[in-house]
Amino acid sequence: CVTSDVQAGCRDTAVTQELLKEGFHRDLLVKVELGEDAGGCAVAARTRLPAGIYVDPYELAMLQQHNSTKAVLIPDVVDVEAPEYLATDLVLVLYLGADPRCSRCFRAAVPVHVRYHRPAQGSQEALVVLESPEVLLCCCHSHLAAECWEPVEVGAPCSAERDVPCQWHSTTHRPAQEELVLEVPVGLREHSSLVCAVTLLTTLLCASLILAATCKHGHFS
């Protein structure tokens, strides 16, 4: 069977991703082990960031100036103040660097930030699901096996430094990867009345103290 021979000749590409650190400000680490040697090729990981998580384009630009992270955001304009329910998905193309400990291994990390979510009913956690990234290769001087890689349309340049379009290729035989699930703490809807009452009382108390201090120490003509 031709299909079986093709699949046997294509070694699986392994993809793993981790969220480092704690809290609302994390680092997304992506590691790739290619199924074949890709010397001279640019390696990238394309992943969809759901509305609950984002990359700050200003922070990304600063990191790229110091050559610590190379990536492209699609779209490149991001509302960093929007909560999860008013935000939209993003596409991140993260350029990976070679791992000196492994000839076919590549890795990169990028800071990501979690958005605030709506209060939930009966649960103090919301789930943000990160799908496994797609592995992309751009080879100018190397020939990729046609049965293992296929051309894909990617709105990203060859590298983060030069805005030059490239022909990217994606693995045609890649095993399904597990999703990465991030648990985000949220408020409880049943506490909304209590929160509103406490907020109102605190605001009135602070306003009263400011008014009293102004009347006592202020100079009025």
Q: Inform me whether the pLDDT recorded for 192 exceeds 70.
A: no
22 and 62 assigned to the same domain: yes
- Name the more confident of 146 and 180: 180
Q: Domain containing 139 — which CATH number?
A: 2.60.40
Q: Which residue has the tokens 């340049």?
A: 157
Domain total in the chain: 2
144 and 213 assigned to the same domain: no
103 and 211 assigned to the same domain: no
195 and 206 assigned to the same domain: yes
Q: Tell whether 3 is covered by a domain.
A: no
- Amino acid 161: pLDDT: 60
Which helix (H) or strand (E) element contains residue 109? strand 105-114
Indicate the range of 73-82, 126-135, 141-150 predicted with least confidence. Answer: 141-150
Q: Tell whether 33 is covered by a domain.
A: yes
- Amino acid 57: pLDDT: 94
Q: Which domain holds residue 51?
A: 14-187
122 and 201 assigned to the same domain: no
Measured CA distances, 185 to 116, 120, 123 (Å): 9, 10, 9
Band of the pLDDT at 204, cuts 50, 70, 90?
confident
- Amino acid 1: pLDDT: 28
Whether the predicted model's global pTM rises above the 0.85 cut? no
How large is the average pLDDT for residues 170-181? 70
210 and 108 assigned to the same domain: no
Indicate the range of 20-34, 76-90, 92-106, 185-199 predicted with least confidence. Answer: 185-199
> What does the alpha-carbon distance between residue 44 and residue 159 come to, in Å, rounded to a whole number?
9
What confidence tens digit (pLDDT) does each residue in 90-124 have?
A: 999 999 998 888 888 999 999 999 998 888 776 77
- Name the more confident of 8 and 129: 129
Q: Inform me whether the pLDDT recorded for 6 exceeds 70.
A: no
Phi, psi of 82 (to 5 degrees): -70, 140
How large is the average pLDDT for residues 195-219? 82
How large is the average pLDDT for residues 76-86? 92
178 and 196 assigned to the same domain: no
Residues 6+ apart with CB under 8 A from 168: 44, 136, 137, 138, 151, 152, 154, 156
- Amino acid 82: pLDDT: 93
Phi, psi of 18 (to 5 degrees): -135, 150
How large is the average pLDDT for residues 40-69? 90
Phi, psi of 146 (to 5 degrees): -65, -30
Q: Which residue has the tokens 């990169």?
A: 108
- Amino acid 159: pLDDT: 66
- Amino acid 25: pLDDT: 93
Of the chain, the percentage scoring pLDDT greater than 90 comes to 30
Band of the pLDDT at 170, cuts 50, 70, 90?
confident
181 and 208 assigned to the same domain: no
